[in-house]
Structure 1
Amino acid sequence: MRAVTAAEMRELDRQAIEEYGIPGLVLMENAGRSVVQEALEMLGQARGRQVTVFIGKGNNGGDGLVAARHLHNLGAEVKVLSLAPLEEISGDAAVNLAIWQRMGQRVYYAGREEDLNAVRLFLVKTDLIIDAIYGTGFQGKVRESVSKIFDVINASGKPVLAVDIPSGLHADTGQVGGNCVQATRTVTFALPKLGLLVEPGAGLCGELKVADISIPAVLLDNEQLKRHLLDAAMVASWLPVRRSTDHKGDFGHVLVVAGAAGYSGAAVLCALAAARAGAGLVTLAVPASLQPVVSTMAPEIMTLALPQTDRQTISTEAWPVIKKMLERCQVLALGPGLTTHPETVDMVRELLPQIGVPVVLDADGLNALVGRTAIFRQLKAPLVITPHPGEMARLLGVAPAEVQEKRLALAEETAARWRLTLVLKGARTLVACPDGTLYINPTGNPGMASGGSGDVLTGVIAGLLAQGLTAGEAAAAGVYAHGLAGDLAAGEKGPQGMLAGDILHYLPRAWQVIKQAGLLAG
């Protein structure tokens, strides 16, 4: 499913109204009715229930007024509270205000600080709060009097249904403008807004529902809308079909260059994950003294001994061995457990510009390029990098907090500038491609915050690349399947104490779920 900025959504609305002739009032009516549908699910029934609708002066408030009308007609006791003076309500919202008033219904003004106690009283017996105050056009910070209303709503303990977006949330970034309504459920219209899909917005919107308000499908599936929320059917469409005549040579050969003394586990997890992703062959290249160890840890994986330093890390002398091996492989995974030994760092820096196959670079492979990011632009083949926020901060020379605050913008800008596919890990992992395509991943859970989880992801992406997926497809499919495997593991084991090996164990089941979704979608 595509995801949009506030400006892109406004353009879709404009095209629906001006080019297809769908009146704005029709779109507003459809939006309001979709709010009613969600409200009825939350209430069970309308008759005898009490609903408080908070509105602002814009179209979001108009959607709330439509919902108020229909809920009233269905037998609910509805109170409408406006945080804007009624004379400021204009356009299609004013039409619906007039309808509400002609029905003999009142709108209470609650935009002053002295109205707080009255608002608290309204909410005492309320069964559902509908938040239709600010829409996707909100920018900046909420004013203090409105912020206090938000506090009252959030402290009420009542379920909250947000209209299009929780008020106070920035639609493009998911950041909060000083204060924000905490929704139990959000019904957004036509397509999800970016701010609802990334943290902290994803956590503030509660359960997210996307409602059809009759915008023509041809507009919603416009190729110029390059941001996507990943789902299983999309991932399934990228996976290769396995025919009865296929053999291991048809699914690619991955070379994993990883490991050092004390870090053999990272190397093995990465190699096994590439195999679990479907690669036909996987060779794990490690410092020579580690080869006997990793051979016993992963019998399904071929191993290769590399020249090593006195600290049992990969030395610069390993380059000719790696180069020769790459003549037989389709993908290189580089980085897990390498360490930042100076000679190993030099090996990474010398190796990368000379590689002619797609590369997945992670962990110490990324650390080796801090201050040397110009190397990214020297690569001849597709590159996928998979930093967590701390690694991303080191690469960019900024504070980790800045990475978290500007995840979307930094991911897109960096992928374009460095001409690579960027996987920015974390809650709602982002996959940014150099052509501007962005994927947002909804799978995964806090139980995956465990050592080795990133090594598994690197292997999964490499295994998919080996099977012929593009860099963007492999990265997006990899993060989705990796997160889904983590969700399946957490569902059976619980998130506490989950290990990276659990993600590895549940990967085959994750692929089954994904392929089943593809069959249903087809």
Structure 2
Amino acid sequence: MIKILSSQQIREVENMANEGGITFLRLMENAGSACAKVIRNKFDDTGLRRVLIVCGKGKNGGDGYVIARKLSENGYKVTVLLTMGEPVADTAREMLERIKNSGVQIENYCDNDEKYDLLIQDSDIIVDCVFGTGFSGVPDERLQRLFKKMSESNGYVVSIDLPSGMCADSSELLAPCVKADMTISVIALKYSLVYYPSAEFAGEIQVASIGIPEDILRSFSGGYTLNINDIKSKMPKRSELSNKGDFGKALIIAGSYEMPGAALLSSQSASECGAGIVKLAFPDKAYPVMMNTCPEKVLIPLPSNKFGRISALCEARIKSELKNCSAVLIGCGLGNDYDTKQVVTSVLENSEVPIVLDADGINSMCESIDIIKNAKAKVIITPHPGEAARLLGCTVKEVQADRIGACRDLVELTGATVVLKGSRTVISSNGEDFYINTTGNSGLATAGSGDVLAGIIVSLICQKINPDLSAVMGTFIHGYAGDIATEKYSKMGMTAQKIITELPKTLSAFEKG
């Protein structure tokens, strides 16, 4: 699990470390040394030795001077290029003094001198240390031209902390920034390295630890990304003495005459992801479709209204089924009318087991949000940006402009755990800590993909995984299956059914021996 911090939080972390006895100069030395180590690990065995370190006048440039010294001491031919003259920060000035007599060549960049164009083109490795987390706004045109030359060079571009020209807290790019092959993020990840479109410019990402005490880092709420080992460590081991009852009963209330596929996909993914028994409740007008395509499911046909959707007349039957399940998923493909709202309300008011509320389950509650907030059981909502905008009474553009903020607002509004779907899905249960999913790709932007995700989440809950954790794990697994499917079928050729097809292979990567 890797922490994500804002630029303000990074400053506070450094201040706390300094107050605790780790001086700013020591932090800079540690940062430069850690970054140099990453660079050496990648290039020591390659024979590439010509390094150009492009420095600004702030602390990021100071990190660059330390990197220059460390690489020079280990046999690299290093040139430092000062883009804005000598540094203004005391710590950076000290680090520059330390390399002046060390064999490192120091040059002052001139925009119109072909000498520097050749220097950029002839370098094997270009280390970008112009701007770091303190940057905001737009670089001047001179620097924009320099960033373009660096990005288009033949050298391998390593950005320190952030590609220069990128703001730490926003995915929006106000002007051209450096396009890195690798970014070494100091202390923690930054939000712009995770979110698109800015993340496209970061390349491979590594996080460099610089000796900040863990208790300081733990004192900050913020974002997290997970990796396969994090998920694997949470996956329960299955006893060979188990029976289907040990893995729970999922009740899925989904589908309509118009959208039977949503019920099929959500129930199938729940089965493929390990739920012991999947009960599928659907409007009886969709029975011909269900009858021949759901051999593993317990089918519960319910009365339909005139639109082919579940009728409110089924409330008594649903209340009965709620007493005999481990978790319930409601909403996929239900349609949105009076009956839908009545059925969803009944589930929220009567269920004593966790509820996953998806799609039309969410839409039906947009004007009755207190029903979600006052639900008897734990609720997980899985809105896409459009559904989130309807709940919040804002535009999709506003949701996408601040996905963390939108997720926080949804948690506060509904009291539910929120899975805000989209590129880099955001999950939060408390509005303070956010898990940002890094699996998945644009191939998942296909009809039915969200139904598959909802089925995975309810399946994990049935297997006695904490509901909040199930939301995080389910999102990761869904994206991972999408990544495997993309390798096999391509992004353009992706369908929701193909995601399900790859679930068994995906789960094998997470199962404990």
Q: Return the TM-score normalized by structure 1.
A: 0.91
Question: What secondary structure is seen at the aligned counterpart in 2 of 1:297?
Answer: coil
- Closer, same or farther: CA 152–385 of 1 in aligned 2, 3 Å: same
What letter is aligned with 2:407?
A: A
Q: Is the 8 A contact 1:411 1:422 kept in 2?
A: yes
What letter is aligned with 1:96?
A: M
**Out of 189, 206, 211, which is 2:208 matched to?**
211
Offset at 1:232?
2.2
Q: Aligned ranges for residues 65-464 of structure 1 at < 5 Å?
A: 65-86=65-86, 88-103=87-102, 105-110=104-109, 114-115=111-112, 119-220=116-217, 222=218, 224-349=220-345, 351-434=347-430, 436-464=432-460
What letter is aligned with 2:419?
A: V
What letter is aligned with 1:120?
A: D
What letter is aligned with 1:143?
A: D
Q: Is the 8 A contact 1:142 1:177 kept in 2?
A: no
Measure, in 1, the Cα distance between the counterparts of 2:140 and 2:408.
Answer: 31
Offset at 1:116?
7.1
Offset at 1:477?
0.5
Partner residue, 2:61: 61
What letter is aligned with 2:306?
A: D
Measure, in 2, the Cα distance between the counterparts of 1:152 and 1:508.
Answer: 46
- Closer, same or farther: CA 423–150 of 1 in aligned 2, 3 Å: same
Q: Is the 8 A contact 1:295 1:301 kept in 2?
A: no
Measure, in 1, the Cα distance between the counterparts of 2:282 and 2:30.
Answer: 60
337-346 or 505-514, larger mean C-alpha shift: 337-346
Q: Is the 8 A contact 1:47 1:76 kept in 2?
A: no
Offset at 1:13?
2.8
- Closer, same or farther: CA 416–117 of 1 in aligned 2, 3 Å: farther
Q: Is the 8 A contact 2:237 2:511 kept in 1?
A: no
Question: What secondary structure is seen at the aligned counterpart in 1 of 2:107?
Answer: strand
- Closer, same or farther: CA 320–117 of 1 in aligned 2, 3 Å: farther
40-49 or 180-189, larger mean C-alpha shift: 40-49
- Closer, same or farther: CA 115–378 of 1 in aligned 2, 3 Å: farther
For each residue in 1:382-411, what CA deviation from the matched residue of structure 2 results, as whole angstroms up to 9, or x when unmatched?
111112222222322322222222112211
Offset at 1:223?
6.1
Q: Is the 8 A contact 1:47 1:75 kept in 2?
A: no
- Closer, same or farther: CA 315–59 of 1 in aligned 2, 3 Å: same
Measure, in 2, the Cα distance between the counterparts of 1:178 and 1:193.
Answer: 18
- Closer, same or farther: CA 402–143 of 1 in aligned 2, 3 Å: farther
What letter is aligned with 2:162?
A: I
Offset at 1:444?
1.0
Offset at 1:488?
1.9
Measure, in 2, the Cα distance between the counterparts of 1:223 and 1:274.
Answer: 37
Measure, in 2, the Cα distance between the counterparts of 1:386 and 1:204.
Answer: 29
34-43 or 122-131, larger mean C-alpha shift: 34-43
Partner residue, 2:467: 471
Measure, in 2, the Cα distance between the counterparts of 1:5 and 1:104.
Answer: 37
Offset at 1:143?
3.3
Measure, in 1, the Cα distance between the counterparts of 2:326 and 2:219.
Answer: 30
Offset at 1:159?
2.5
Question: What secondary structure is seen at the aligned counterpart in 2 of 1:103?
Answer: coil
Partner residue, 1:7: 8
- Closer, same or farther: CA 273–481 of 1 in aligned 2, 3 Å: same
Measure, in 1, the Cα distance between the counterparts of 2:114 and 2:483.
Answer: 43
Offset at 1:61?
0.8
Offset at 1:203?
1.9
Q: Is the 8 A contact 2:258 2:308 kept in 1?
A: no
Q: Is the 8 A contact 1:138 1:169 kept in 2?
A: yes
- Closer, same or farther: CA 346–207 of 1 in aligned 2, 3 Å: same
Identity score, percent: 35
What letter is aligned with 1:364?
A: D
For each residue in 1:93-129, what CA deviation from the matched residue of structure 2 results, as whole angstroms up to 9, or x when unmatched?
111111122336453333x7x5475543332212222
Measure, in 2, the Cα distance between the counterparts of 1:371 and 1:266.
Answer: 24
What letter is aligned with 1:55?
A: C
What letter is aligned with 1:74?
A: N
What 5-or-longer segments of structure 2 have no aligned partner?
none
229-238 or 114-123, larger mean C-alpha shift: 114-123
Measure, in 1, the Cα distance between the counterparts of 2:142 and 2:361.
Answer: 50
Measure, in 2, the Cα distance between the counterparts of 1:428 and 1:485.
Answer: 15
2:490 is equivalent to residue 491 of structure 1: no
Partner residue, 2:18: 17
For each residue in 1:314-341, what CA deviation from the matched residue of structure 2 results, as whole angstroms up to 9, or x when unmatched?
1221222211111111211111111224
What letter is aligned with 1:54?
A: V
Q: Is the 8 A contact 1:416 1:433 kept in 2?
A: no
Aligned pair count reads 512
- Closer, same or farther: CA 267–453 of 1 in aligned 2, 3 Å: same
What 5-or-longer segments of structure 1 have no aligned partner?
none
224-233 or 271-280, larger mean C-alpha shift: 224-233
Measure, in 1, the Cα distance between the counterparts of 2:228 and 2:408.
Answer: 23
Q: Return the TM-score normalized by structure 2.
A: 0.92
Offset at 1:229?
0.9
Partner residue, 1:511: 507
- The CA RMSD over aligned residues, in Å, is 2.5
Measure, in 2, the Cα distance between the counterparts of 1:116 and 1:295.
Answer: 75
Question: What secondary structure is seen at the aligned counterpart in 1 of 2:100?
Answer: helix
Measure, in 2, the Cα distance between the counterparts of 1:510 and 1:48.
Answer: 38
- Closer, same or farther: CA 90–328 of 1 in aligned 2, 3 Å: same
27-36 or 437-446, larger mean C-alpha shift: 27-36
Offset at 1:299?
0.7
